Amino acid sequence: MKNTKPLNSEVATLADVAQIACVSTATVSRCLNNPVQVSDKTRQRVMKAVTTLNYSPNFGARALAAKRTNTYGAIIPTMENAIFARGLQAFEQVLVSRGATMLVASSSYDPQIEEDQIRTLIARGADGLLLIGRDREPAVYRFLRERNVPFVIAWTSATAPETSHVGFDNLAASRALAARAIGLGHRQIGFISAGLNFNDRARDRVEGVRLAMRDHGLDSNCMPIIETRYSIACGRAAMAAIMTDHPETTLVMCGNDVLAVGAVQGAHLLGLRVPDDVSITGFDDIELATIIRPALTTVHVPHHTMGTMAAETLLEMVREGATARQIVLETSIVERESLSAPGMKPLSRPA
Amino acid sequence: MKNTKPLNSEVATLADVAQIACVSTATVSRCLNNPVQVSDKTRQRVMKAVTTLNYSPNFGARALAAKRTNTYGAIIPTMENAIFARGLQAFEQVLVSRGATMLVASSSYDPQIEEDQIRTLIARGADGLLLIGRDREPAVYRFLRERNVPFVIAWTSATAPETSHVGFDNLAASRALAARAIGLGHRQIGFISAGLNFNDRARDRVEGVRLAMRDHGLDSNCMPIIETRYSIACGRAAMAAIMTDHPETTLVMCGNDVLAVGAVQGAHLLGLRVPDDVSITGFDDIELATIIRPALTTVHVPHHTMGTMAAETLLEMVREGATARQIVLETSIVERESLSAPGMKPLSRPA
DNA sequence: TTGTACGCGTTATCAA
DNA sequence: TTGATAACGCGTACAA
């Protein structure tokens, strides 16, 4: 029986506001989306009606009509990690401050899951996407372009000029840290890395060390590399493996701080002192790095800034049609306690 | 000029699928939402058309017509904290596994921001909400009920039977830990807490200690309490303040592990050994607690389980109209190294 | 089991 | 500056 107006049924609609303010729905819509088009007098009347009715636009209707949702998707490998959490928090805060909201999905470092999540978030109407790293099936990039969804790639530096990047040069940072260690006298270097597959950041960090070795005339092919999952326990196990197979190792570089913390623990379990018996380095400079003893010498990554700038870049692409932009942030080596010149080893180490 | 069908314009719509499959749009819709209503033959035909067109339902249209978005909002105090990150990750995974997606907002522990976020996420069409803690203006609860949005409160145990809770008893856990410490002989206890305002968890944790003291005939009014922001640095500063004003303190209990880590560092800076000179306890049992030396004696909270069950509870409320449910998870005391019987103090402590 | 037709609440185009 | 009004794409009574 309800046909004209539901009076005071559920929640207020544009039409309700229009009726109260004695204007058309078009005018109300304009007041909300493009206030300059409306005269002061009517706008005040409309806004008053909006507040008295406690009106809030229906999201679905708006998305349908405007083809924009004002939501942005972020797909990160995992949330259980201080690195991504910080960047994400910064990303979200910029979004909120600009009236947008954030959709989050995690991929567990699985490219297939990531692809699904990308499709899901786009289907959910995300206006733009934050992606981590550049390794991705070509089909995924094709899909992104064909749907015309702006996206920015973070945590890594640019390769393709037509896509936006806000990140840092993993390879150069790693190379610099390795060069520093080599300068200190290290020759037998081992590496503990996260999975290299579909993870350009991890690969770049390994490659940086290799290049540094070559730079100094060392043979990088003999560097033992352990590839493992991303956890402290795995770092511990990897450390044991490296030191067992290559007891001559004086430095173990790790692809990130979490693995490095595990490596430190592993060294201690083996009866090795850090850095006296073996040096260890990390990457990321998360809080953990300052807590463990010895504190980690590592690469500082400006996570917060990266999240902030990624959000700003994405917003400009979506809202102002800005073209792709590449931002490379500076990293720095933070020298703490876990790296020193290679020392003398005891003649016989504990089993 | 386009009036009937846009041929191969942008993205496929329901109508496109219907045309290819030679059925009505209603049938296609049914195939997607209620397959049992459709005969096998036509369904197969329709699904084939769906895949060839790579069809994916328009989110806005679906939300508008169905009044459901299949998205769930989560509002947490901060993402830069392992505690919430883990629970959130678990929450998200359940959601994704059930075909839903997660909207995230953080409130920075500010009740006003939280309220704004609640309104935003609801306006954004969230079908249900995950909220942390029970402290909230009555107006917020009124709003929630009047909009009829299901929500579950996590990280705390039930007070109101008409709202869903998935959490644990902060007070009881804290009380148990304090009782253990008092049993060990501690009499002079200090407390470092996160802000107590609009934070029932923090208050309960303090109150638990007070009750334990009374249980053992101690005067809980003289317990020094420092209220501070949630960071390691703040924990460090608070520790200095307590030990300066109350040098007789033998145990400093902390509202969470982050503060406790700061307290341990603060103790070391004061030249105090932990636990020989002063014992320290935490709460949460995050990874940090196992890294610091001495490792933290703390309360273990089942974050992952909590996130999982919160998601399941919320989904059942929304999808099956389940009524409010209260789940209280077990916590346990994890005895590590930072708590021991009060020892002898050096006659003169370093400044 | 399938189709018709309307409504959902906005935005945006076009006139006035 | 304002008002009609036509999309927008889907779900769902209701009818067949």
pLDDT at B351: 42
Segments of chain B scoring below 50 in pLDDT: 1-9, 346-351
Looking from the CA of A328 toward its CB, the CA atoms found within 13 Å total 10
Among B79, B101, B124, the residue with its CB nearest the CB of A89 is: B79
Q: Which nucleotide is nearest to A30 (CA to C1')?
A: C11
Helix H or strand E segment including A145: helix A138-146
| A113 CB neighbour count, 10 Å cutoff | 16
**What percent of chain A shows pLDDT beyond 70?**
95
Closest C-alpha among A44, A66, A50 to residue A12: A50
User: In chain B, count of helices (H) and strands (E)?
Assistant: 13, 12
Compute the residue count for chain A.
351
pLDDT at B217: 96
Q: How would residue A10 be classed by pLDDT, with cut points 50, 70 and 90?
A: low
Q: Which amino acid, one-letter code, is at A112?
A: Q
Q: How would residue A2 be classed by pLDDT, with cut points 50, 70 and 90?
A: very low
Summarize the confidence of residues A215-226 as an average pLDDT.
Answer: 95
Q: How would residue A236 be classed by pLDDT, with cut points 50, 70 and 90?
A: very high
Cα A88 from Cα A118, distance rounded (Å): 17
CA dihedral A269, A274, A276, A281 (to 10 degrees): 130
DSSP symbol at B217? T
Whether B104 has its CB under 8 Å from any CB of chain A: the answer is yes
Please give the residue of chain A at the shortest CA–CA distance from B95. A105
Interface test with A, best of B8, B11, B67, B101 (most A CBs within 10 A): B101
Whether A293 has its CB under 8 Å from any CB of chain B: the answer is yes
Alpha helix locations (H) across B67-108? 82-97
pLDDT digits (tens, 9 = 90+) for B159-202: 788 999 999 999 999 999 999 999 999 999 999 999 999 999 99
Residues of B in contact with A105 (CB under 8 A): 92, 96, 101-102
Cα B164 from Cα B316, distance rounded (Å): 11
Is B81 in Cβ contact with A125 (below 8 Å)?
Answer: no
Whether A233 has its CB under 8 Å from any CB of chain B: the answer is no
Is B292 in Cβ contact with A287 (below 8 Å)?
Answer: no
pLDDT of residue A138 exceeding 80: yes
- The angle formed by the CA atoms of residues A27, A32 and A33, to the nearest 5 degrees, is 95
Cα B312 from Cα B309, distance rounded (Å): 5
Beta strand extents in A111-268 (DSSP E only)? 128-132, 151-154, 164-168, 189-194, 225-228, 251-254
pLDDT higher at A36 or A174? A174
Within 300-339 of A, beta carbons closer than 8 Å to B belong to none
Residues of B in contact with A81 (CB under 8 A): 85
Q: What are phi and psi of B308, to 5 degrees?
A: -60, -50
pLDDT of residue A143 exceeding 70: yes
Q: What are the Cα distances from residue B317, in Å, to A143, A248, B143, B299?
A: 35, 60, 18, 30
C strand bases under 7 Å from protein CB? 1-5, 7-13
Is B86 in Cβ contact with A80 (below 8 Å)?
Answer: yes
Interface test with B, best of A116, A231, A291 (most B CBs within 10 A): A291
Is A119 in Cβ contact with B96 (below 8 Å)?
Answer: no
- Listing from the earlier edge strand, what are the strands of the sheet with A251-254? A225-228, A189-194, A251-254, A279-281
Q: Which nucleotide is nearest to B67 (CA to C1')?
A: C8
pLDDT higher at A88 or A158? A88
DSSP symbol at B284? B
pLDDT at A344: 54
Whether B80 has its CB under 8 Å from any CB of chain A: the answer is yes
